[in-house]
């Protein structure tokens, strides 16, 4: 493939409901979408950075800067044998995984479309149907949370993740478990705790929690290993893992027993697969995380989740949980038993609705041709 033309745009799209985590509230997304074109074929990718530097250091605006000034200039006009050859072109850039990963994903979609093959097959996936879970933000009170969980359980979702933070943790978990004795339940702290809080995690050990996701500092693995030695519930790392090497080290020191793989956070499909492989070879299950993506990022997450070691339900849920109108058609749909079917279409498997995309666009820049 030759990277003849790259179109970068920012879209603004309002969430149906605000999403609250330990680091803040999101109600409108500012998402960067990349369209890469060879002669006649296009590929789409999405940058999963947040609006502010709170989940990680990247933002919508840092990604725009890094893409326009560093990533796209290295890529435009290049001839690549495969999307796998992209990451070496930008390996000298430190950090900014989501900026790089957005373009990388677009190249995978392009390659899959060129080969007339579904992206999930090109990636080597085998799961035709993936298990879907939901991530539920912090609510105004526990009764409200219990209602939201009931709605999602009724919709068929296979696993419930609740966001936790100091003051919204042990008592919340206790009541959720009491109200739903059988659901698969987990908590995501987004780095809100320190080792001073060990006792609190030991209390939550009693509630049959599948895993605690990223309880400690966003760059830490050492303290996570210390915490893991003192609690029964598996730790799952999210923020701390940006590469297969990070995963190897975290596993080696016992910092986690599960890893959340996010396409953007590791810089694209190639590295996501490498993280998957390291985990598989060490007997560590993975699942696919979410970043409140539009349909484009969501479609990539569905494809990635087809790899064999994605053996736990991910945060890849239906479009209609997030958006009144998605940028893909049809939207990602979840069956009554909480699964998403892989598409047999070439590429990421969902068509981009160009009219909706254009209507939501607030800025656009075109490179090449």
Structure tokens given for 168: 């919204």
Distance from first CA to last CA of the chain, Å, rounded?
15
Give the integer Cα–Cα distance in Å for 66 and 99.
7
Residue 249 a catalytic site member = no
Structure tokens given for 81: 């044998």
Give the integer Cα–Cα distance in Å for 104 and 97.
10
Q: Which residues, numbered 101-140, are part of the site for ligand OSB (CB under 6 A)?
A: 135
Determine contact, residues 255/233, Cβ cutoff 8 Å. no
Q: Which does 99 bind (CB under 5 to 8 A by kind): Mg ion, ligand OSB, none?
A: none
Give the integer Cα–Cα distance in Å for 47 and 54.
16
Nearest CA to 112 among 331, 277, 316, 343? 343
Q: Which residues, numbered 230-259, are part of the site for ligand OSB (CB under 6 A)?
A: 238
Compute the least distance from the CB of residue 23 to ligand OSB, in Å: 8
Regarding 306 and contact with ligand OSB (CB under 6 A), the answer is: no
Return the range that interacts with ligand OSB (CB under 6 A); candidates 7-15, 113-121, 191-199, 286-294: 286-294
Regarding 20 and contact with Mg ion (CB under 5 A), the answer is: no
Regarding 188 and contact with Mg ion (CB under 5 A), the answer is: yes
Say how many C-beta atoms besides its own lie within 10 A of residue 99's C-beta: 31
Nearest CA to 302 among 146, 26, 105? 105
Determine contact, residues 227/256, Cβ cutoff 8 Å. no
Residue 163 a catalytic site member = yes
Helix (H) or strand (E) holding 64: helix 60-66
Compute the least distance from the CB of residue 129 to ligand OSB, in Å: 19
Helix (H) or strand (E) holding 5: strand 5-21
Compute the least distance from the CB of residue 161 to ligand OSB, in Å: 7
**Contact pattern for Mg ion over residues 223 through 262, marking x by CB under 5 A:** ---------------x------------------------
Give the integer Cα–Cα distance in Å for 303 and 44.
13
Q: Which of 35, 161, 163, 165 is catalytic?
A: 163
Q: Which residue in the set 58, 188, 246, 271 belongs to the binding site for ligand OSB (CB under 6 A)?
A: 188
Q: Which residue in the set 55, 86, 168, 350 belongs to the binding site for ligand OSB (CB under 6 A)?
A: 55
- Nearest-CB residue for Mg ion: 238
Burial class of residue 116 in the structure, from the number of CB atoms within 10 Å of its CB (0-12 exposed, 13-18 middle, 19+ buried): exposed
Regarding 109 and contact with Mg ion (CB under 5 A), the answer is: no
Compute the least distance from the CB of residue 182 to Mg ion, in Å: 24
Give the integer Cα–Cα distance in Å for 208 and 78.
51
Compute the least distance from the CB of residue 308 to ligand OSB, in Å: 22
- Nearer of residues 3 and 299 to ligand OSB, judged by Cβ: 299
Q: Which residue in the set 45, 101, 268, 290 belongs to the binding site for ligand OSB (CB under 6 A)?
A: 290
Compute the least distance from the CB of residue 240 to Mg ion, in Å: 10
Nearest CA to 190 among 270, 101, 265? 265
Regarding 152 and contact with ligand OSB (CB under 6 A), the answer is: no
Contacting positions for Mg ion (CB under 5 A)? 188, 213, 238
Per CB under 6 A, residues contacting ligand OSB are 55, 135, 188, 190, 238, 289-292, 315, 317
Give catalytic residue positions. 163, 262
């Amino acid at each position: 493939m030759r990277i003849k033309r790259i179109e970068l745009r920012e879209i603004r799209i309002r969430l149906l409901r605000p999403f609250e985590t330990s680091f803040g509230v999101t109600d409108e997304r500012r998402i960067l979408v990349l369209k890469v074109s060879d002669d006649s074929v296009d590929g789409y990718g999405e940058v999963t950075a947040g609006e502010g530097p709170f989940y990680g250091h990247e933002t919508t605006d840092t990604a725009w800067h890094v893409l326009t000034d560093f990533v796209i200039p290295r890529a435009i006009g290049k001839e690549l044998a495969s999307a796998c050859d992209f990451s070496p072109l930008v390996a000298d850039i430190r950090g900014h995984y989501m900026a790089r990963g957005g373009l990388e994903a677009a190249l995978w979609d392009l390659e899959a479309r060129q080969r007339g093959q579904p992206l999930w097959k090109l990636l080597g996936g085998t799961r035709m149907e993936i298990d879907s879970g939901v991530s539920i933000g912090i609510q105004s009170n526990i009764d409200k949370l219990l209602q939201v969980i009931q709605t999602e359980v009724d919709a068929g979702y296979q696993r419930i993740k609740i966001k936790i933070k100091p003051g919204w943790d042990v008592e919340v978990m206790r009541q959720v478990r009491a109200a739903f004795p059988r659901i698969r339940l987990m908590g995501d702290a987004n780095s809100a705790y320190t080792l001073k809080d060990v006792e609190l995690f030991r209390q939550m050990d009693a509630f049959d929690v599948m895993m605690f996701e990223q309880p400690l500092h966003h760059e830490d693995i050492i303290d996570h290993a210390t915490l893991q030695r003192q609690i029964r519930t598996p730790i799952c790392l999210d923020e701390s893992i940006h590469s297969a090497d990070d995963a190897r080290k975290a596993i080696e020191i016992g910092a986690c027993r599960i890893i959340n793989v996010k396409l953007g956070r590791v810089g694209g499909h190639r590295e996501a697969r490498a993280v998957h492989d390291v985990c598989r070879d060490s007997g560590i299950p993975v699942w696919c995380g979410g970043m409140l993506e539009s349909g484009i990022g969501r479609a990539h997450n569905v494809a990635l989740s087809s790899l064999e070691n994605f053996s736990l339900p991910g945060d890849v849920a239906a479009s209609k949980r997030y958006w009144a109108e998605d940028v893909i058609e049809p939207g990602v749909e979840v069956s009554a038993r909480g699964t998403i079917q892989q598409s047999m279409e070439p590429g990421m498997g969902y068509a981009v609705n160009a009219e909706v995309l254009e209507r939501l666009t607030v800025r656009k820049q075109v490179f090449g041709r």
